[in-house]
Structure formats: C-alpha cells, structure tokens
Amino acid sequence: MKAKNYSPLYFLAALGAGWTSVMFFMYLMFMTKHPDTPIPTFESIFSQFSSGDMFIQAVIIFAVAWIIFFAVKHFQLLIWNLKNFSKFKQTSEFIELKKWNKEVQLMTLPLTLAMSVNVLFIIWAVFVPNLWSVVEYLFPFALVAFWAIWILALKLFGDYMTRLLTTSSFDFVQNNNLGQMIAIFAFTMVWVWFAASAAMSHNEVTAVLGIVFSIFFSVIALFFGTIKVILWFKSILKNWINTEMSPTLWIMIPILTLLGITYVRQSHWFDHHLNITTEPGTYFVFTTVIISLQAIFGFIGYKVMKANNYFKDYIHWDKKSAWSYALICPWVALVVFGFFFLHLGLVKTWLVDKFWIAYFVLLAPLVYLQFKTILTMWRLNKKMF
C-alpha cells in the first residue's frame, strides 16, 4: 500500500482481531471453573480439561484455538499498521488530516495499543503456568503500560480539542456520523483496564491507583461522549447520514460494553476492599439496561445501513472503505457483553440454570453473531489487503 493511501482507520482491523480473541476468552471465563482466581488461568483450564467432561474439553479446545488464531492476527495487523502509519506521517495527506474533523482518527492508535495489552494479558493467563503466583508484580508494569497509552491518548485528544477550540476548523457538515466517538472509545478501552487492576489486585496501592484512574477516564469519556452525541444528532438530522461512515452508528455498542465491564470490575473493587457487596439483582438490572441500549443502536444502525445499501456496496460488492472495519468491534462487543448478561444477569440471579436448555437457547444467538462477524472480517481482509 502506498503511504498516501493509508488511513489510521486500518488500526480498526487489528482492533477487531484483538476483540475477537477476547470474545473467545469469554467461553473460558464463564463456562469453566476458576474458584481460586478472578479469571481462568493455565492451572484452572488444565484442571478442567483433565476432569474428563467431554463438553468442557470441547469448549476449551474450541476457545483456545480461536484465541491463538486471532491473537496472532491482531499482532500481525498491528505491526503492519505501525509500519504504514510511520510512513503515512511523512506525507502531505497526514498534514491535511490534522486540519479537519478526520484528525480524531488518530485516536485509533491508543485504542488499538490498549487492546494489545489486553490480548497479551489473556495469552499470558491462558498459556503461562503459575502466572497468578507473580501477578501482583505484573500489575504495576501493566499500569505503567496503560499510563503510557493514557498519555498518548490525552496528547492526541488534547491537540485535537485545542485546535477545535482555537480555530473555526470543525466542519458540522462532515460531522453527520458518529466517527467522533472514536476518541471516547479509546478512553473507555483505557478505563476498563485500570478497572481490571482495581478488581483483581490485592495490593492496596495498585488497586487504589486502578480505581482512581478508572473513574478519571470514566468521567472524561462520559463528559465528552455526551457532548459529541448531542453534536452528532444536530449534524445528522440536518445533513443526513454519511453513507460511507454509516458503520459508526454502531460505535456506541462497544463503548457500552466497556462501560458495563468497568462497572462490574469497579463493583468487585468495592466488594474486595470496602466490603460493599453488589447484589445479584443489581447486576440483572444493570446488564439488562446495557444490553437494551445496545439493541437500540444495533437496530437503528442496521435499518439505516440496509436502507442505504451499505452492506451490499461495501461488504459484498467492490466499494472499499477503511470505515467498514467499524462493523467488526460492535458485534464482537455485543457478544462479549452478551456473556456478561447471560451469566451475571440471568444465571447469577437463578433466572436461568447453567448448561440447561434455556441457557443454550440464549447462547445460540451469540454464537451466530460471532461467526457472522468473523465471516465479515474475512471478507473485509480479503478485499482491503
């Protein structure tokens, strides 16, 4: 690919592969037992595999194989993007990009790097023996990595907002999409990891730093997210939706997923460190609210893209746009939070019995969605690369 034809939006291809690896980790997270650790580890997975339960063995083989495949794909696409982004920064197209609304696309870099740390942590947990015995030593390094990503995200976003507030360079006509929410997506990806450190670490300093920075980024994301959604409604109702950027209508789905996971992790911090327990009924209400909002954005986005022939033109036919990769993360994120809704919202409240008929009936749409998403990802990769 020529440097001038590159777009930072190609980072979304790497992001989608990383999200998909996380998606398959959900099978291990919720369908295998790990009583001694908050997430599955090599020891808990090996123990479950050795139990002789053929169904669990099949689940583990299925999940682990796909985790490896998409983790490798994620880092392949990440390296490709970093190389091409470095070349792109030397072009006049990069200078032009930084003058208008498109500058927000640079936030895909910290967004994807945050996912890379997440994927690495999952790989270590699944494949490295005795990791949890030294995990308290790893959390500080992870916090340092996310602080570095945080600084990068704040710098890129700060430069962008400074230009918008000191010049008349924001184009409301071009704002007829939800592309500006990429910045909020990046902040939510950072806040969810800080919340993970708060929830899983038994070290008071690490946990407190995690919860403080998690809340800090939550405030930033919610504040600017509210502003951007209001501006989006104004622009899109006045200028119609930009057909090429129609997939951005779904960007709220992964943001809501990360918001939901952050809440769960923050509640674990309150439980472990302040002895404030979250009742199962609270999880039921909260996860139902999140999944309902995701359904609304998913339905509206689907209807709009169906009406403007987006799927036919940009997925099945020959039209190309890096924005098409914005289709991947939303559905993967919906599957991920679907696991939280099923297990925390329904199984934990005894509304559904785990591994019984109703459980698999509710699981079936999630399985269908994930493979539909993977098929779309393969089509896009074949077309775009």
Does residue 182 contact residue 188 with C-beta atoms inside 8 Å?
Answer: no
Q: Give 93-105 pLDDT, tens digit per residue.
A: 888 888 777 888 9
pLDDT over threshold 90, residue 368: yes
- Checking if the pLDDT of 255 tops 80, the result is yes
Average predicted confidence (pLDDT) for the chain: 88
**pLDDT at residue 212, rounded to an integer:** 87
State the Cα–Cα distance between residues 197 and 39, nearest whole angstrom. 12
- pLDDT reported for residue 76: 96
Say what the pLDDT of residue 1 is.
67
Within 13 A of 216's CA, how many CA atoms are on the CB side? Answer: 12
C-alpha to C-alpha distance for 122 and 104, rounded to whole angstroms: 29
Q: Which residue has the higher pLDDT, 177 or 88?
A: 88
Rounded Cα–Cα distance for residues 183 and 170 (Å): 15
Q: What is the pLDDT of residues 30-59, one digit of tens each?
A: 999 988 888 999 999 999 998 878 999 999
Most confident of 21-30, 172-181, 198-207, 229-238: 21-30
CA–CA gap between residue 164 and residue 161 (Å, rounded) = 5
248-264 mean pLDDT: 91
Nearest CA to 193 among 152, 151, 154, 139?
Answer: 139
pLDDT of the residue at 383: 83
Q: Which has the closest alpha carbon to 251: 77, 19, 48?
A: 19
The region of weakest confidence among 2-6, 132-136, 312-316 is 2-6
C-beta neighbour count of 260 within 10 angstroms: 26
Report the pLDDT averaged over residues 156-178: 77
Band the pLDDT of 176: cuts 50, 70, 90: low
Q: Which of 131-135, 274-278, 361-365 has the lowest mean pLDDT?
A: 274-278
- Find all residues with CB under 8 Å of 228, minimum gap 6, and list them: 178, 180, 181, 183, 184
Tell me the percentage of the chain whose pLDDT exceeds 90: 46
Q: What is the pLDDT of residues 261-290, one digit of tens each?
A: 988 888 888 887 777 777 878 889 999 999
Question: What are the pLDDT digits (tens) for 200-249?
Answer: 888 888 888 888 888 887 888 888 888 877 777 777 777 677 788 888 88
Written as one letter, the residue type at 316 is: H
For 364-371, the CB contacts below 8 A with 24+ separation are 365/338, 366/335, 366/338, 366/339, 366/342, 369/331, 369/334, 369/335, 369/338, 370/20, 370/23, 370/331, 370/332, 370/335
169 confidence band (pLDDT: 50, 70, 90): low
Quote the CA–CA distance of 297 and 250 in Å, as a whole number. 6
Q: What integer is the mean pLDDT of 352-357?
A: 92
Q: How far apart are CA 176 and CA 211, in angstroms?
A: 35
Position 114 scores a pLDDT of 92
Domains of the chain: 3-384 (1.50.10.150)
- Report pTM: 0.92
More confident residue, 10 or 161: 10
Tell me the one-letter amino acid at 370. Q
